[in-house]
Structure 1
Amino acid sequence: MMIVQQEYYIKGLSYSIRSAEEKDAEALSSLRVQIDGETENMDREEGEAYIDATGFRRIIHLDTEKSRNLFLVAVVAGEVVGYSRCEGTVLKRFCHKVEFGVCVVREFWGHGIGKNLLEKSIEWADQTGVEKMTLNVLAFNEKAIELYQKSGFEIEGILKKDRRHTDGQYHDTIVMGRFRD
């Protein structure tokens, strides 16, 4: 699915949010590795489960065609600095919902990019009849949990010791869901 590009100016930064295009594939491949190395909040360690440009082109192409998928990018001065995806399924028992994920380069945290990617995704979900959005977030990521709750997500459960990071420490994952009004 595609959305119309939207422009933002927050805390001195101009950026746009738009649907991912196949021309973004190379940048997304590098960006994903970079973001995975910048934060413990992602599912992967840096370079793990690598997706090359061809893989991203395939994902973008499929997400553009599928009515239950949405792939957005945030762009600053022509460079992709973040992205989000909503991914649905064709399985009849689960076709009422999509799973949401978002990531932004650390340098651009604090400019509302993640929040606006989330808001555009919620707007799309509500307009297309998605009944439920789900996401997973690390229990120690309080800022993200607060943002999700302000956006209508509720905590549905906690997965205890769900992840083990490189330092050997286990971390809980919070499962959240948002139902369409």
Structure 2
Amino acid sequence: MFSQKEVFNVKGIQYIIRSAEEKDAKELAAVRLQIDGETENLDRERGEGFIDEEGFKQRIQTDTEHPKNLFLVAEIDGRIVGFSRCEGTNLKRLSHKVEFGVCVLKDYWGLAIGKNLLEVSINWADSHDIRKMVLSVLETNEKAIKLYESYNFEVEGIVKKDKKLSDGKFYSTILMGRFKE
């Protein structure tokens, strides 16, 4: 768990990154639903795989209790504008790694929120004996790929033509990982 708040100032806008709390559940459900409708970079379309308030409460509780999980929110003026998760496992053979995912409301792109959620997550992982972070990213999301590469993530594989987007074409997913020696 990440127990402190970090404050960022980007382009004259201040935001904080902090651990998700149970009181955030209702807002997280709405934010996730909105984000799913704003971009095709994620796996879901708006409304698919919906997680309601209770579902988020359960996820936050699990992530708070599990030492290899981290659930962060980014907040501007008391409003959640993005979030990220690192999810680990209790399986011994996989206990050295976590899977990272991030999303930010489109109105707040360009404020380095995703970058800072990633950086806070990496710092948390490095300080909690987590040796590997993995993630997946749509091949067309070049900005995200460059960001991940700048934090020493490497391409580990490609799942070819596994997503069909609104243009009717198939796109590949890039699997990336960062290993801490």
- The amino acid of 1:38's aligned partner reads E
Unaligned runs of 5+ residues in structure 1 are none
Query: What whole-Å deviation, never above 9, does each CA across 1:35-83 have from its counterpart, x for those lacking one?
Result: 0000000110001000000000000000000000000000000000000
Q: Which runs of 5+ in 2 are unaligned?
A: none
Q: Output aligned runs, 1:6-85, within 5 Å.
A: 6-85=6-85
Measured in 2, the distance between the counterparts of 1:68 and 1:17 equals 18
Could you tell me which amino acid in structure 1 is paired with residue 101 of structure 2? Answer: G
Q: Is the 8 A contact 2:10 2:112 kept in 1?
A: yes
**Structure 1 residue runs of 4 or more that deviate by more than 6 Å after TM superposition:** none
Give 1:22-171 correspondences, 5 Å limit: 22-171=22-171
SS across alignment from 1:158: strand
- Residue identity matched to 2:180: R
Deviation at 1:180, TM superposition (A): 1.2
Maintained 8 Å contact 2:15/2:75: yes
Distance (whole Å) between structure 2 residues aligned to residue 160 and residue 114 of structure 1: 25
Offset from partner CA, 1:86-108 (integer Å, 9 cap, x none): 00011111111000000000000
Contact 2:85 2:101 in 1 (8 A): yes
Given that 2:28 and 2:56 are in contact with CA atoms closer than 8 Å, whether structure 1 keeps it comes out as yes
The CA distance in 1 between the partners of 2:166 and 2:144, in whole Å, is 22
**Whole-angstrom distance in 1 between the partners of 2:109 and 2:2:** 25
Q: Deviations over 1:111-139 (max 9, x none)?
A: 11000000000000000000100000001
Deviations 1:149-172 (A, max 9, x none): 001100111110011124321110
Q: Percent identity?
A: 58
Query: Is 2:157 the counterpart of 1:172?
Result: no
* AA at the equivalent of 1:69: N
Q: Secondary structure at the match of 1:129?
A: coil
The count of aligned residue pairs is 181
State the AA in 1 paired with 2:44: R
TM-score w.r.t. length of structure 2: 0.98
Q: Secondary structure at the match of 1:38?
A: coil
